[in-house]
Amino acid sequence: MPITHRLTLTQYLIQERRRYPNSKGEFNALILDVALACKAIARTVAFGELAGVLGNHSADDGDKTINVQGEVQKKLDVMSNNYFIHLNEWGGHLAGMASEEEELPYQIPAQYPRGKYLLVFDPLDGSSNIDVNVSIGSIFSILRAPEDAIASGRDLVEADFFQPGVKQVAAGYALYGPTTMLILTLGNGVSGFTLDPTVGEFMQTHPSIKIPEDTNEFAINASNSRFWEYPIKRYVDECLAGKTGARGRDFNMRWIASMVAEAHRIMMRGGVFLYPRDNKDPNMAGRLRLLYEANPMGFLIEQAGGRASTGSEPILNVQPTGLHQRIGFVFGSKNEVERIERYHAEPVPKKDDINPLFAERSLFRD
């Protein structure tokens, strides 16, 4: 299809901005800076070993580096973080940033103006897939900075970022797969763009993404099954029982270990993703991080007609208490997520009352 038949990301943003006659275009400029960072990461990822970008990052002394999560940083984690920071710090639209790879809020350097937005991001999601050439992505969330920070231009503190997901102004992810895509919400539905490598532009290819309400596909890391709480065990057991169980139909299971790739499959054809709270590590309330993984993804999913939850309550209602706080996260096709929430609301049966069918047949029993 000729390039003139599709909207570019820039044209889409201008079109959306016309709905807000008072807007000054700052927000659009910010989204375009984020998109530029994603394009730079996409090119870097695409060269892989040819550019020597695979493997672990090492400090000057040659030692591996560890981020605030206690995870070994990949070279591409560090490079992607640098692209996000340096392509966004100069524009004058941001009061500050927070990143998976930065322990504390990133302050806009003194030589640049400060603006009214906060940018929060996971620069590269799916680190375990980098070296094996499986899809990875970037995730971002845009919030408004507190009024006093905008007015005074003061340095940010962690608490400035502790805003529930409903406060997000925009969110998106870039997927570095067979094609590079940018999936974006400005709070008015979800629009998908594919990077046209010949002109270096994101072109609108998926104008209004809608997640089917029902699905036969679920995604969970089943190696954690012995740590799951009862409602999750019950849900997965019922999916596995298929036609012969309570659900009366067969299900398919998927696990890529890149949430962005998983979410994209769900955006395109439905499904449910679970990384629930479990009792593997009492110090961690889940695997995924609230501010830069669950909240932006939750906003996108809900804007596409799906549902995003902790298992018990809407993820977007959770009041954050830490920059790198983890949380149980369940999202995808609405009816399936609502079912999982119902299972959490029901009382947990006493051990003796658990349906013997599960006890005998479950692949995942205690």
Q: Which residues bind ligand AHG (CB under 6 A)?
A: 71, 100, 122, 125-128, 221, 257-259, 275, 287
As measured in angstroms, the least distance from the Cβ of 165 to Mn ion is: 16
Closer of 126 and 245 to ligand AHG (Cβ) = 126
Of 103, 118, 105, residue with least CA distance to 158: 105
Closer of 221 and 252 to ligand AHG (Cβ) = 221
Reading the block at residue 213, the tokens are 């309400």
CA angle 311, 174, 130 (to 5 degrees): 90
CA angle 99, 103, 108 (to 5 degrees): 60
327 backbone dihedrals φ, ψ, rounded to 5°: -155, 150
Q: Which does 306 bind (CB under 5 to 8 A by kind): Mn ion, ligand AHG, none?
A: none
As measured in angstroms, the least distance from the Cβ of 253 to ligand AHG is: 13
Residue whose token pair is 């560090």: 78
Closer of 204 and 333 to ligand AHG (Cβ) = 333
As measured in angstroms, the least distance from the Cβ of 122 to ligand AHG is: 5
Q: Which does 221 bind (CB under 5 to 8 A by kind): ligand AHG, Mn ion, none?
A: ligand AHG
Task: Examine residue 100 and tell whether it contacts Mn ion (CB under 5 A).
Answer: yes
Say which residues have a Cβ less than 8 Å from residue 355's Cβ, sequence separation at least 6. none
Closer of 114 and 264 to ligand AHG (Cβ) = 264
Closer of 133 and 221 to ligand AHG (Cβ) = 221
Closer of 28 and 127 to ligand AHG (Cβ) = 127
As measured in angstroms, the least distance from the Cβ of 228 to Mn ion is: 21
As measured in angstroms, the least distance from the Cβ of 143 to ligand AHG is: 20
Closer of 326 and 334 to Mn ion (Cβ) = 326
Q: Which does 287 bind (CB under 5 to 8 A by kind): Mn ion, ligand AHG, none?
A: ligand AHG
Q: In the chain, at which residue ranges do the beta strands (DSSP E only) sit? A: 94-99, 106-107, 117-125, 136-144, 170-176, 180-185, 190-196, 201-206, 217-220, 252-254, 272-275, 288-289, 307-309, 326-327, 329-332
Q: What's the burial of 332, exposed, middle or buried (CB within 10 Å: 0-12/13-18/19+)?
A: buried
Q: Which does 74 bind (CB under 5 to 8 A by kind): Mn ion, ligand AHG, none?
A: none
Q: H helices of the chain, where?
A: 9-17, 26-47, 75-88, 147-152, 230-241, 259-269, 295-303, 334-345, 356-361
Reading the block at residue 158, the tokens are 């962690």
Task: Examine residue 122 and tell whether it contacts Mn ion (CB under 5 A).
Answer: yes
Q: Which does 23 bind (CB under 5 to 8 A by kind): ligand AHG, Mn ion, none?
A: none
As measured in angstroms, the least distance from the Cβ of 314 to ligand AHG is: 20
Cβ atoms within 10 Å, residue 314: 17
Q: Which does 257 bind (CB under 5 to 8 A by kind): ligand AHG, Mn ion, none?
A: ligand AHG
> Applying CB under 5 A, which of residues 89, 125, 201, 336 lies at the interface with Mn ion?
125
